[in-house]
A = this chain, B = another copy of it.
Amino acid sequence: MTPMLGATTLEYALLGLFHQKPHSGYELRRVFAETPLKYFSDSPGAIYPALRRLVARGWIIASAPEGGRRRRELRLSGPGREAFIDWLRRPVTRDDVDPDTALLLRFAFMGQALPAAEIPKFIEDYSREMRAQLKALQGYYDENAATWPLTGRLAFEHGLALHETKLAWARGAARALKQPKAQP
């Protein structure tokens, strides 16, 4: 994966989980193995080195193992919390929106870590950049698709449909964020 300015997406995903509560390495592996967060691998060769990097950077701290257990509980530090919040607040750039996996991970964590007033801005930025991206793709399609075989055209339309769905999602999300809290 891409270095992402300072830390990998996996590292920020870990910080996000630590933001909720302390975890052991094994617990984190289970999360990645058993929930739809399996976008990240549960391989020890990925997780343990990532945890070591976070410890080395001072972003997480190891607690002494409780009650003779062999389990190492790790928890977020102050600087780690800061780095996590900075990541959540990063501006949404053109290059981020496609693919937008890391962006959606950030959005998912925002609800518990940022004041509600900051969140609609993310959706606005996301919409703007996604709209620009879609427009560029449509332009490319209009100019070139005529010469493509059918499967090439359909594959491109797959991409266009996804971008349109993402824009529609952003509209719905903006609406949902405006609602006063309760609502079935």
**A residues touching B (Cβ–Cβ < 8 Å)?**
35-36, 39, 99, 104-105, 107-112, 119, 137, 140, 148-152, 154-159, 161-162, 164-166, 168-169, 172-173, 176-177
Residues of B within 8 A of A162 (CB): 162, 165-166
Best-surrounded residue of A105, A119, A162 (most CB of chain B within 10 A): A162
The prevalent SS among residues of A at the interface is helix
Nearest residue, chain B, Cβ from A179: B150
Task: Report the Cα distance A142→B47, complex, angstroms.
Answer: 28
**Copies of this protein chain in the complex:** 2
- Asked if A169 contacts B158 (CB within 8 A), the reply is yes
Return 13 A-B CB contacts under 8 Å, by A number. Answer: A35-B140, A36-B159, A105-B155, A107-B155, A108-B154, A111-B149, A150-B177, A154-B172, A154-B173, A154-B176, A158-B169, A161-B168, A162-B166
Residues of B within 8 A of A151 (CB): 107-111, 119
Task: Report the Cα distance A168→B157, complex, angstroms.
Answer: 12
A98 smallest CB distance to B (angstroms):
8
Residues of B within 8 A of A164 (CB): 165
A30 smallest CB distance to B (angstroms):
15
Nearest 4 pairs of A and B residues by beta carbon: A111-B149, A111-B151, A108-B155, A165-B165
- Asked if A157 contacts B140 (CB within 8 A), the reply is no
Residues of B within 8 A of A107 (CB): 151, 154-155
Task: Report the Cα distance A162→B161, complex, angstroms.
Answer: 9
Residues of B within 8 A of A110 (CB): 151
Task: Report the Cα distance A2→B151, complex, angstroms.
Answer: 25
* Given A104-B155, A137-B36, A111-B150 contact (CB < 8 Å): yes
